[in-house]
Structure 1
Amino acid sequence: MTFSRRTFLGTSGAAALISAGAVSGRAQAAAIPEAPTTDTPATQPPLVPTSGPDYQPVVTLNGWTLPWRMNGDWKEFHLVAEPVTRELAPGMVANLWGYNGQSPGPTIEAVEGDKVRIFVTNKLPEHTSIHWHGQLLPNGMDGVGGLTQPHIKTGQTFVYEYQLQKSGTLMYHPHADEMVQMAMGMMGFFVVHPKDPAFRRVDRDFVFLMSAYDIEPGAYVPKVAEMTDFNLWTWNSRVFPGIEPLICAKNDKVRVRFGNLTMTNHPIHMHGYDFKVSCTDGGWVPENAAWPEVTIDCAVGQMRAFDFLADKEGDWAIHCHKSHHTMNAMGHDIRTFIGVDKKAFAKKMKRLAPDYMPMGSAGMADMGEMEMPLPDNTLPMMTGFGQFGPVEMGGMFSVVKVRQGLAANDYKDPGWFNHPEGTVAYEWKGESKNVERAQPPVIDKATTVELQVKKPGPGSQHKNH
C-alpha cells in the first residue's frame, strides 16, 4: 500500500476531551495517532488482521483500508478532512474534498464489540463534523454539527469514542454543510465484522460507495448546487473505464457491498448470476429470509450487500441499470437526430469547420470507437474497449472477473476471459437446412365466436353495475 505518514498539531491550549471534543495543543497532539494517506487510484490489497478476532478483510474498489493502532483496549484511527485531487479515470481529474488524500476516504474496518477512538482533524476551509451512518452509539457521538456536538472548526481535531454494538455494512459522512461537503466527495465506508469469525463468512468481500458529480467539460470542481442534472455517476469517485474489476476465484463465496450517497436510486445489476441480498445498513438479513435477485435497488442513504457463489468463469458485467448512469460527461441538451439525413448539412458545415462530423442520425454507438478531440480534463461520453471492440459504457460500470485457480489473496487483473471454443455468439452466414419456419395459426371458422358490440345511441347513459 502506498502511504505517507504525517502528524497534525493543534493550535490552542484546550485539553483533550474523552468525548466528541476538540484535541489541541502540542502535548495532546503528540498522542494523536499518525494519519496515513495515499493518492493512488489503484485498488489496494486487503488489510489482513494480525491480532484480535479473525475476519475476512474487505477490498475497496479503487481504495484502501485505514490502518489503526491499539492503545490499551481502544482501536484508534485518524481521519483528516481535506481538499483532495481525485482521478475519475485516466484523462480526467477532479478537485474534491475527502479524507486522508482521497475521495471517498479510506474504509474503516473493525469488529463487533471493539472500542474505537476516531480522531478527526479538519483541514477544510470551513467547519465540518462526521456522522457514523447506521451505528448505534451515544447521542453525543452521532456527529450532527450544532445538534449533538460543536462543529469541528478549521485546524481543530475532535475525538469520537464508542463501542461497536453490531456488525454490518455502514458508512461515514459529514453532517455539516451537507449540500457542499457531500457533493464535494466527503464520505467513506465503515465495515464492522461479526465477532464470530464463521458468521456469514465469505472468501472475497468488495465495497464501494456511489456518488454523483456535475463537472462541466474542461472544469475541475463539481457544481455543488446541482440537484438533478449530474453528468458523472461514480463508484468510489471513479467512472468506467477507471473502475477496477472485481477479481474472484472460481467457487469463491463472494460478497459485494455498496452504499448510495447520490441524489437518486440505483438498481445494481450483475450479469451471469443470481444472488441473495444478505445485509443492509440496518443489519443482516436472516439466511432463511434472504431473497434471490439479479438486480437490487439501492435508494438514497441506503446500504446493500449481496452474496453469490462464483461458480461460472467469465467477464461478467456489473452496473447501474439506469442507462444514463453508465455514461460519462452526459450533455443534457443534446438534440435527437435519429432518422435525420444530415449529409447536405454536413457538406456545408465542413466548409466552415473542416473537422465537423455529423453524428446521431443512426444512434450514438459510433461515439464509442471514435477518438474525437475533447476539451482538456474531459472524458468521452461512452468509452472503454474489450477484447471484441468498444464497450460503449461509462459511469457506474465494471466487470466481475471469475477465474479458475486464483490464489486466495490474488486480486491482480487476469486480463480478458479466454472463452472455450463454441461459446461466443457469432454472425450467421447461411440458411439452416433443419430449421422449421413458424407458421401462422389456423383459425377454424366453424368455431369462431362473433362478438356483436352495440354502441350507445344519442342520449343514452352508461350505468355502473
Structure 2
Amino acid sequence: MTLSRRGFVGASGFVVAAAGLVSGRAQAASIPEAASTKSPATQAPQMPTSGPDYQPVVTLNGWSLPWRMNGNWKEFHLVAEPVIREIAPGMKAHLWGYNGQSPGPTIEAVEGDNVRIFVTNKLPENTAVHWHGQRLPNGMDGVGGLTQPHIPPGKTFVYEFQMRRSGTFMYHPHSDEMVQMAMGMMGFLVVHPRDPAFRRVDRDFVFLLNAFDIEAGSYVPKVNTMLDFNLWTWNSRAFPGIDPFVVARNDKVRIRFGNLTMTNHPIHMHGYEFKVSGTDGGWVDENATWPEVSIDCAVGQMRSFDFVADEPGDWAIHCHKSHHTMNAMGHSVKTYIGVNKKDLAKRIAKIAPGYMPMGSNGMGEMGSMEMQGPSNTLPMMTGYAQFGPVEMGGMFSVVKVREGLAAGDYKDPGWFKNPEGTVAYEYKGQKLAEAPRTAGPDSGLDSVDWQVKDPRKPALPADGTPLPVKPGSHSNH
C-alpha cells in the first residue's frame, strides 16, 4: 500500500476532547499515526496479524485504515480534510474526505473489539462522525449538537465504543451534512464475525455509491443540487476509472455496497444469480437468503450479496438506471433522433467551424468519437474493451473471473480470452428474406413520423429565418 505518514500528534499539537465518556482516557494521551494515500488504485487487503482470523475486505479504488493496539483498544486515526480525487483519467475533483481520499479509508474490526477512533478536523468548518448502523453509547453516535459538541477546525475528538455486532456499515458526517456529504465525506465500516468460519468467503469487496454535480470544466461539486447530478460514481470514481472485481474461478465472493446518493440504485450483475446475504441491519439467515440478479439499494441502506464464481469471463456489473451509466449528463440536451441536421450543420459551421452534427441516429457514436470538450470534463460515454467502445460511464465495472488466480492476486488480468465459437458473430450466409411482421395501427412509421417535435414551436424554413409574428399571438412562441 502506498501510504505516507503524518507522524504522531501529541496533545500539545491538538486539543484532545471526548465525544462522550472516555474510559482509560490516560491511554489516549498520544494519538496514533494518520496514514494517508492519494493513489486511486485498489489497494491489496490488509491481512490480520493478531487476534481472530478473518478474510479482509478489498475496497474498490480504495484501501483499509491501519490501526495499532493500545492495551485492549484497537486505535484508528481519521483526518477530515480537503482532498483531490481523480474521478477517472482526464478529470479530477476538489472534494472533502478523510486521510487524503474520498471516500475515506475502510475501517475494519472484529465483533467484540474495543475501538478508539481519533478524528482530527482539518476542514474550514465544524464536523462530526456518525457510525451508521452500529450499536454504541448515545454520546458516541456522532450527531453534532445532539449527542456531542461539534468538532471545531484544528481539534481532535475521540470516539470509544465496542463493536457489538458484525456486518456491513459506514461512517459519514452529521454536521453540515448536506454540504459535507455532497463534497464526498463518507467511508466504509466492516465488522468481521468473531467466529472466523461464520459466513466466510474467499474474496470480499466493498464500495459506496455516491454522486456529484460538477459543471464542465470546473472542479468543485455544486452542493445544493438535490436531484440533477451529472456524475454517478462508486467510491468517487466513474467508468472507465472504476477498477474491476478480480476473482478466481470457483471462489465464493461477497460484494457489499452502501448508498449515500439522493436516489435508489438497482445494482445488476451479469452472468450470475446471487443470494442477498446481508443489510446494514444484519445478516440474512442462510435459510432466508433469496436469489436475485439485481438488488435495489435505497438511500442510506447497505446491501451485500454472495455468489460462487464458477462462470469465467468479463461480466458487467452496474446500476440499472441507464442515466447512471453515463458521465457529465446534460439535462437540457435536446433529442434529435430522426432529425435531418444537414442544413442546420451548414449554418452552425459558419460560426463554429468543425461542428459535427450528432444524435440523429442515437448517441452510440459518441462512444467511439474523440471530441474536444472543456478541460477536466469526462465524455458522456467512454471506455474501450477488446471488441470496441463500451459506450458506458458512471456506475459501471466488470467482474473478471479467471482460472488459476492465487488467493491474494487482485491484479487486472486483462480481457477474457473467449473459447473458440463462443462469441456472438455477424451472419454472412444467404441473404435473408424480410422478416414477417404482424400488422398493427402503428405499423409503417417512417423516419419523418418519429421525429421528436415540440408542437408549440413551428418549424423554421430552410434558411433558418424566424417566422413573422401573427397579430394577437405571443411573441415568445
Task: Output the TM-score relative to the length of structure 2.
Answer: 0.88
In structure 2, what is the Cα distance between the partners aligned to 1:14 and 1:439?
Answer: 77
Partner of residue 443, structure 2: none
**Whole-angstrom CA distance in 2 between matches of 1:361 and 1:163:** 60
Query: Does residue 259 in structure 1 map to residue 255 in structure 2?
Result: no
Deviation of 1:13 (Å): 8.6
| 2:366 aligned residue | 367
Partner of 1:119: 118
CA shift digits 1:416-461 (9 cap, x unpaired): 000000000011112499x9x9999xxxxxxxxxxxxxxxxxxxxx
Q: Is the 8 A contact 1:20 1:159 kept in 2?
A: no
Q: Is 1:3 matched up with 2:13?
A: no
Matches within 5 A, 1:425-444: 425-431=424-430
- Counterpart of 1:311, as a letter, is D
Contact 2:16 2:155 in 1 (8 A): no
Query: What is aligned with 1:228?
Result: 227
Structure 1 residues 348 and 271: CA distance shift in structure 2, 3 A: same
Cα distance in 2 between the residues matched to 1:318 and 1:200? 23
In structure 2, distance between residues paired with 1:238 and 1:18: 32
The residue type paired with residue 237 of structure 2 is R
Q: CA offset at residue 351 of structure 1?
A: 2.4
Matched, 1:244 2:255: no
Q: Distance in 2 between matches of 1:379 and 1:333?
A: 17
Q: How many Å separate the matches in 1 of 2:391 and 2:78?
A: 37
Q: Structure 2: give runs of 5+ residues left out of the alignment.
A: 439-477
Matched residue pairs, number?
Answer: 435
Q: Evaluate the alpha carbon distance shift between residue 15 and residue 193 of structure 1 in structure 2; reply closer, same or farther with a 3 A threshold.
A: closer
Letter in 2 for 1:416: W
For 2:456, the equivalent position in structure 1 comes to: none
What is the distance in 2 between the residues matched to 1:439 and 1:101? 59
Structure 1 residue 354 corresponds to structure 2 residue 356: no
1:391 has 2:377 as partner: no
1:355 CA drift (Å): 1.1
Maintained 8 Å contact 1:20/1:160: no
Counterpart in the other structure of 2:130: 131
| Deviation for aligned residue 1:10 | 5.2
Which residue identity is paired with 1:19?
Answer: G
Matching of residue 97 in structure 1 with residue 96 in structure 2 = yes
Shift of 1:14: 5.9
Query: In structure 2, what is the equivalent of residue 379 of structure 1?
Result: 378
Contact 1:271 1:318 in 2 (8 A): yes
Equivalent residue of 1:173, what SS?
Answer: strand
Q: Distance in 2 between matches of 1:129 and 1:20?
A: 16
Q: What secondary structure is seen at the aligned counterpart in 2 of 1:272? A: coil
- Distance in 1, matches of 2:159 and 2:62, equals 23
Q: Is the 8 A contact 2:16 2:157 kept in 1?
A: no
Deviation at residue 374 of structure 1 after TM alignment: 1.1
> CA–CA distance in 2 between the matches of 1:253 and 1:402?
11
Structure 1 match to 2:48: 49
Matched, 1:310 2:309: yes
1:250-287, CA deviations, whole angstroms, 9 ceiling, x for partnerless residues? 00000000000000000000000000000100000000
Indicate if the aligned counterparts of 1:315 and 1:401 stay in contact, CA closer than 8 A: yes
Amino acid at match of 1:181: Q
The verdict on how the C-alpha distance between 1:220 and 1:366 changes in structure 2, with shifts beyond 3 A counting, is same
Instruction: State the AA in 2 paired with 1:317.
Output: A
1:211-254 CA-to-partner distances (Å, cap 9, x unmatched) read 11000000000000000100000000000000000000000000
1:8 Cα offset (Å):
3.4
Q: CA RMSD in A?
A: 2.1
Q: Is the 8 A contact 1:368 1:382 kept in 2?
A: yes
| Structure 1 residue aligned with 2:199 | 200
Query: Residue type matched to 1:169 in 2?
Result: T
Superimposed CA distance per residue, residues 158-210 of structure 1 (whole angstroms, 9 cap, x where no aligned partner): 11001111000000000000000000000000000000000000000000001
Q: Give me the whole-angstrom Cα distance separating, in 2, the residues matched to 1:368 and 1:18.
A: 50
| AA aligned opposite 1:230 | F
**Aligned partners of 2:212 and 2:232 also within 8 Å:** yes
Q: How does 1:272-283 map to 2 (within 5 A)?
A: 272-283=271-282
Mapping 1:408-423, distance limit 5 Å: 408-423=407-422
Instruction: Report the residue type matching 1:244 in the other structure.
Output: D
- Distance, in Å, in 1 between the alignment partners of 2:12 and 2:340 is 68
1:15 Cα offset (Å): 6.4
Q: Cα distance 1:351–1:377, how it changes in 2: closer, same or farther (>3 A)?
A: same
The one-letter amino acid paired with 1:2 is T
| Identity across matched positions, percent | 76
* Matched-pair contact (CA < 8 Å) for 1:207–1:256: yes
Distance 1:30 1:343 in 2: 73
Cα separation, 1, equivalents of 2:312 and 2:169:
30
Task: Determine the structure 1 residue equivalent to 2:38.
Answer: 39
- Identify the residue that residue 161 of structure 1 maps to in structure 2: 160
Contact (CA 8 Å) 2:119, 2:157: kept in 1 or not? yes
Deviation (angstroms), 1:344:
1.4
Q: For residue 404 of structure 1, what is the aligned residue in structure 2? A: 403
Q: CA deviation at 1:32?
A: 0.5
Question: Matched residues in 1 for 2:317 and 2:215: separation?
Answer: 27
> Is the Cα contact below 8 Å between 2:16 and 2:158 reproduced in 1?
no
Look up the SS of the partner of 1:349 in the other structure.
helix
Question: Tell me, what secondary structure is at the counterpart of 2:119?
Answer: strand
Kept after mapping to 1: 8 A contact 2:19/2:139: no
Summarize the Cα distance change of 1:377–1:8 in structure 2 as closer, same or farther, 3 Å threshold.
farther
Distance 1:17 1:128, change over 3 A: closer
User: Which residues in structure 2 correspond to 1:144-223 (within 5 Å)?
Assistant: 144-223=143-222
Which residue of structure 1 lines up, in the alignment, with residue 448 of structure 2?
none
Q: Is the 8 A contact 1:20 1:149 kept in 2?
A: no
Give the equivalent residue in structure 1 for 2:290: 291
* 341 and 17 in structure 1: CA distance in 2 versus 1, 3 angstrom threshold: closer
Post-superposition shift, 1:30? 6.3
Q: Secondary structure at the match of 1:182?
A: helix
Q: Distance in 2 between matches of 1:266 and 1:428?
A: 37
1:345, distance to aligned residue in structure 2 (A): 1.4
Deviation for aligned residue 1:348: 2.4
The residue aligned with 2:268 is 269
Change (3 A) 1:225 1:72: same
Alpha-carbon contact 1:11-1:155 (below 8 Å) kept: no
